[in-house]
Structure formats: structure tokens, C-alpha cells
Copies of this chain bind each other. A is one copy, B any other.
Amino acid sequence: MNLILIDQHEVDNTTVTLTDRRCTHIRKVLRCQVGDEVRVGLVNGPVGRGCILALEAQRVMLDLILDQQQTPRPLTDLILALPRPIMLKRVLSQAVQLGVGRIFLINANRVEKSFFSASLLQNDSLQTFLRLGLEQAMDTRVPELSIHPRFRPFVEDVLPAITAPHPLKLVAHPTAAANLPQTCPLPLTGRVLIAIGPEGGWLDFEIERFQAQGFKPFSLGPRILRVDTAVPALLAQIDLLRSATTTRG
């Protein structure tokens, strides 16, 4: 927890009282005293510092000075074939750590249907894992997350409505002929939408549906990656192509 995330409704004037794991973190991990400052951020809002006004066993009170703007919205959006719940928790946190604007969890032929009835998806508990990623990355902007239990309506109805801001749309596919640098025209400056398939990959039919929506298939190479390796690998590569664009012209 590199940043204490606070919801707007928790703030009373400029103070907030924490009684949950954030309180425990401030007391037990950061070992703060009254008068110390901790890094804080308002969910979907500015960041700054919280000065500790009071500290008790179950309760810490902070005075907030939120004087820094939140970071800009990340330029990459992620379509992810729904992985098994234990993997999903990890991958959501990883994606948020590296920065994504939107996350679409979708169905595909090789997604186990039971994953969509996992309790993890039934309430707001996914938000917990998004927040863990934000706390780690010191960001406050919660990605938009949506769940799409049917592949074809997602690709044919949802995608056309959301891809206007994306000059580059990519779909990872082990047997594609091109690799990522061959698929990304530099300079890479606009939004990128990237689709990552289930274990076992997309079906040819699914790749064709993505291609019909303007997605370019690319291969990560001959090594087959698990999703919790593939997601950070790809988001980091997109980031590198962006930074190479700005630092090398």
C-alpha cells in the first residue's frame, strides 16, 4: 500500500477517520506517530498527504492536503478473456499497476463457463482488486470495468460503439505472422485497445471477428505465456513503444 486511498464520502471537511486495513497499515507497517504524514489519494481525484491528527488501536484520523492532480487517464484499454477467479484477481491488480483506462472481461469459446458465475463477479469485489493495484501504483483513477458474458454481442455490438478513440486495435494470437513492433506504427501516441485470449488461445472464428472490427493480430513469439505473465508483458511493451516514441522522436 504505497498510497492510502480514500473515498470522497469518507471525508468530513478536510479530515477522515479510518478504522479498517488502512488504519492497520498506518499503525503496523508504516509505524506512524501523531504528526507524521502519509501519502493519500482521493478515489478518482487528487493525491497529496495526510497528517496524522490522532492514532488509536482501531482508529486513525488524518488531516488531508490534496494538492496534486491525479495522473492522466492511461492510454491503453484491455479486453481480456475471463480467466479463472484466482488468476483474475492477480491480473486485474497487474493491469491497474501498469495503467489501463478500461477493462472488458469477455467470454470466448475456451473460457470455462463456470468462471462467469464465480462469486467474485457477483458483487463489487472486483473493485477491491482494482484498488489494490491503485494503492500499489500510487494512482487514484479506477479503470472502468465491464463484464460481457457473450462473445458475439460484445464483438459485434459493443466494440463498434467503443473503438472510435482507438487508432490502434490489437489482438494477441500465437500463430499470427507479425510481432508487436511490426504491428505498431510509430510514433505511438493515441489510445490502444488490446485483446488477450484465454488459456489455449482464441479460435480462428474469434480472431476473424476481431479482424472484422479492425483488430490486427500479432504474436508474442513461440513461448506460450500464462495470462499473469502475458498481461504485464504486453502492457509494458505498449508503454515502451510509447516512451520510445517520445524519447527518440
Contacts and interface: CB of A to CB of B under 8 A. Distances in A.
Nearest to A178: B247
A234 interface: yes
Given A236-B237, A241-B240, A137 B223 contact: yes
Contacts of A222: 71, 138
Nearest to A181: B244
- Main secondary structure on A side of the interface with B: helix
A98 B225 CA distance: 7
The oligomer's copy count stands at 2
Contacts of A224: 2, 97, 136-138
A94 interface: yes
A171 B141 CA distance: 29
Interface string A219-249: 0011111101100111111011101100110
Q: Give me the 7 closest cross-chain CB pairs, A-B, nearest first.
A: A233-B236, A137-B223, A232-B232, A181-B244, A94-B229, A237-B240, A229-B232
Nearest to A223: B137
B136 A240 contact: no
A90 interface: yes
A240 B181 contact: yes
A99 interface: yes
Interface string A191-233: 0000000000000000000000000000001111110110011
